[in-house]
Amino acid sequence: MKFDTPATTNPIDQLNVVGRPLDRIDGPLKATGTAPYAYERHDVVRDPAYGVVLGAGIAKGRIASMDLNAAQAAPGVLAIVTAQNAGPLAKGQYNTAKLLGGPEIEHYHQAIAVVVAKTFEQARAAASLIRVAYDAVPGTFDLAAVKDRAPLAKETDSSGPTRTAVGDFNSAFDAAAVRLDAHYTTPDQAHAMMEPHATLAAWQGDRLTVWTANQMVAWSTGDLAKTLGIPKEKVRLVSPYIGGGFGGKLFLRSDALLAALGARAAGRPVKVALQRPLMFNNTTHRPATIQRIRIGAGRDGRITAIAHESWSGDLPGGGPETAVNQTRLLYAGAHRLTEMRLAVLDLPEGNAMRAPGEAPGMMALEVAIDEMAERLGMDPVEFRVLNDTQVDPEKPQRPFSQRRLTECLRLGAQRFGWSARQARPGQVRDGRWLVGMGVAAAFRNNLQMASAARVRLDGRGIVTVETDMTDIGTGSYTIIAQTAAETLGVPLDKVVVRLGDSDFPVSCGSGGQWGAANSTSGVYAACMKLREAVARSVGIDPAQAVFANDQVRAGARRVPLAQAAGDKGLVAEDGIEYGDLDKRFQQSTFGAHFVEVGVDAATCEVRVRRMLAVCAAGRILNPKSARSQVIGAMTMGVGAALMEDLVVDTRRGFFVNHDLAGYEVPVHADIPHQDVIFLDETDPVASPMKAKGVGELGICGVGAAVANAIHNATGMRVRDYPITLDKLLGQMPPPG
């Protein structure tokens, strides 16, 4: 199905099933512990062996020698795979570093061996017996130390332009009546998902099957085949359930490759789960940023000049954290400048994590906007509303398909009780707590991606949907079932959804807030094709056919779907393909975050007291699961603001706090009452579902709202995240 004109009335608009806050159909499996996650696939192979990965003990250099003798002689050991005996290995399209290092080492904990044994304990014990000697060389691990030498990042499809300029920023900034020039930093941060990167691999002759935790099935199937040097059709990747990804499982990782290599060497199935420290140092992470923001405005509060420059680092061949992209689109202003610079760092590779780009970028931008409002003597909500725009500020001839930022801010302010906020900081006390409110805009782009599905109707009237789309805990099973049920006029309990298998049609996959709208659009396309086949099979004009109550009807004629399918059933396969609507219209999602915090006047402990998110993201396909995504994202935003920080050992080049004991994330006690409001809207330009993504919108702006609330409570402005109490101590106002 080609989608190149805005959607008109279609079967989804009935809203009999779509748009309802239905329970997750996979919920019982997860609640009872029977959902088949990758490491727990006891049903697919017999008697698997276990692999334990050995990571490099240096960040840069070479392996001088590796003594495997003691490990090979250890009880239960079946095979040890290293770069020396693995055979030729390529590097996948989506990998920055090699997944199996040696003799060259590119980063600390880069996998250099996998030990395969009959039991996990035997494999772990044997791995500890490997003796490795290194020739280490000095590396670069400190972004701040090399910032001034960092060149402009190379433009890629995912980064977009790395430098943009409209008008004459420097002249306009110099002439502005009110100006801000400030630097902000965000640290390296980890995905820290519950489920480790894990894979079970098995060979049948020259065919490989991996049951793994992966968000993008087609990408990783191709990269695994490319790395191993075998045809893609010889690789099957299965990933029906994922215990958290957040971008960390978008790409092929070493667990999948080493499980495949270990299984081939041992001659039996092998399962590998990365140890928790290797998940922090051997997979991707969110890279640190240094950001400079300059804003100039007239006394009336209108922005005349805005510039956002960002520095981040990655391994050679990597890409930048796209922290400036929201600044290109969020606020009006005639004179504009953005730049992204990229330093080469010898740290584990940086890549997508929890709304890459906008999440760390808005942690800076939305604090700068508050600082400007304060300098202008304006309310922060009103300053944002004043500088709203309905067109792309860089290309004024290009309108937004939908942009209701002002409504989100106004409604949020009303519901949150913003009028009670004291503009002068440090004025509100609740016992020992200084209390403040903060606000930030929310912004995340909407991405259109091709997505396909196959739909079967059998003689019992059961509809089965197959697509390689994944469910990373976001509710894909449910919204896909809702889409099929709505389009074909059947109840939800007559829809079976099968996901996460490379044997199924290629979907958009899960990531970047693109999964829900695109995958359901692909399912809708396949269902519309099936509707046509059903109607023709019973002699009804497809244009006149109505699908409802398990039947297809036209006029007075009604035929049960089970009867129409017959004994052989009917199958249709199709997908959504997009035209140029994303070029003609800027497609984005918008929102507003409101946060109230308390700061202990003596200890500077920060406690979030309440939170509200107001979101405008097109049609909400399932308000219940969408709310769950947004409150989860809000929680991640609190973590980024107050505690998450991968501490870099700048001498040896590794993340020191590389486990869940040292890397702090929010727990239940840290998170108060959270409210979420979805504006009632549809966006016909975005997809036939008239929906856009919403999950990552929930994190974009939260960190800044927390920082702004802390400033309102205390009068202190912290521009370096996370905002820990040591950055507040010594600056607190005297007791009053």
Per-residue pLDDT tens over the stretch 377-427: 999 999 999 999 999 999 999 999 999 999 999 999 999 999 999 999 999
What CA–CA distances, in Å, run from 333 to 118, 213, 297, 328, 592? 64, 44, 9, 10, 20
Q: Is the backbone peptide bond immediately before 75 cis, with ω within 30 degrees of 0?
A: no
Question: What's the angle, vertex CA 400, arms to CA 394 and CA 405, rounded to 5?
Answer: 100
Query: Which residue type, as a one-letter code, is found at position 323?
Result: A
Q: What is the pLDDT of residues 70-97, one digit of tens each?
A: 999 999 999 999 999 999 999 999 999 9
Cβ atoms within 10 Å, residue 609: 16
DSSP 52-98: EEEEPSSSSEEEEEEE-HHHHTSTTEEEEEETTTS------TT-SS-
Percent of the chain whose predicted confidence (pLDDT) is above 90: 99
Domain 38-138+200-277 grouped into CATH 3.40.50.300: no
The strand pairing partners of 165, in sequence order, are 337
Q: Are 2-31+448-584 and 38-138+200-277 the same fold in CATH?
A: yes
Half-sphere exposure of 4 (CA within 13 A, CB side): 5
**H or E element that contains 204:** strand 198-204
- Annotate 410-425 with DSSP letters as a single string: HHHHHHHTGGG--SST
Q: C-alpha 9: how far from its chain's center?
A: 31
**pTM, whole model, 2 decimals?**
0.98
666 preceded by a cis bond (ω within 30 of 0): no
Q: List, for residues 689-701, the tens digit of each pLDDT value.
A: 999 999 999 999 9
Distance CA 540, CA 563 (A): 14
Cβ-based neighbours of 302, under 8 Å, separated by 6 or more? 332, 386, 387
CB 670 within 8 A of CB 608: yes
Evaluate if residue 736 carries a pLDDT over 70.
no
Question: What is the Cα Rg of the chain in Å?
Answer: 27
Q: Which residues are catalytic?
A: 696
Average pLDDT of 280-305?
98
- Confidence category of residue 478, pLDDT binned at 50, 70, 90: very high
The secondary structure of residue 212, as a DSSP letter, is E
What is the pLDDT, as a whole number, of residue 518?
Answer: 98
Does residue 734 have a pLDDT over 80? no
> Is the model's pLDDT at 158 over the cut of 90?
no
Tokens read off for 127: 């791995």
**pLDDT grade for 168, boundaries at 50, 70 and 90:** very high
Residue 100 and residue 111 in contact, taking contact as beta carbons nearer than 8 Å: yes
Sheet holding 570-578, edge to edge: 2-3, 570-578, 451-457, 463-467, 495-499
Strand pairing of 235-238 and 207-212?
parallel
CB 528 within 8 A of CB 496: no
Distance CA 115, CA 120 (A): 10
Q: Where are the beta strands (DSSP E) in 281-334?
A: 289-297, 303-314
| Residue 292 pLDDT > 90 | yes
Q: What's the pLDDT at 157?
A: 85
Question: To 10 degrees, what angle do helices 623-642 and 358-376 make?
Answer: 70
- Euclidean distance between CA atoms 32 and 44, whole angstroms: 20
492 Cβ partners below 8 Å, 6+ apart?
A: 17, 22, 25, 481, 482, 485
Structure confidence by residue, pLDDT tens digits, 175-226: 999 999 999 999 999 999 999 999 999 999 999 999 999 999 999 999 999 9
Q: Is the pLDDT of residue 557 over 70?
A: yes
The count of other CB atoms within 10 Å of the CB of residue 550 is: 16
Mean pLDDT of 532-552: 97
For residue 110, CA distances in Å to 91, 639, 654 come to 14, 27, 11
Contacts of 121 (CB under 8 A, 6+ apart): none
What is the fold, at CATH topology level, of the domain defined by 380-388+399-445+587-736?
A: Aldehyde Oxidoreductase; domain 4 (3.30.365)
Residue 480, helix vs strand vs coil: helix
Which H, E and C letters describe 319-375, residue by residue?
CCCCCCHHHHCCCCCCEEEEEEEEEECCCCCECCCCCCCHHHHHHHHHHHHHHHHHH
CA distances from 187 to 109, 566, 640, 641, 726 (A): 20, 60, 9, 10, 16
Q: Which of 513, 375, 485, 334 is closest to 18 using CA atoms?
A: 485
d(CA 479, CA 60): 46
Is 733's pLDDT higher than 80?
A: no
Alpha carbon distance 7, 189 (integer Å): 40
pLDDT in tens, 575-589: 999 999 999 999 999
B/e letters for 500-514, b = 16+ CB within 10 Å, e = fewer, are bbbebbbbbbbbbbb
Instruction: Calculate mean pLDDT across residues 489-508.
Output: 98
Predicted pLDDT of residue 556? 92
Tell me, which fold does domain 2-31+448-584 have in CATH?
Aldehyde Oxidoreductase; domain 4 (3.30.365)
Domain limits, the chain: 2-31+448-584, 38-138+200-277, 380-388+399-445+587-736
d(C-alpha 456, C-alpha 442), whole Å: 40
Q: Mean pLDDT score of the chain, rounded to an integer? A: 97
Query: 207 Cβ partners below 8 Å, 6+ apart?
Result: 234, 235, 236
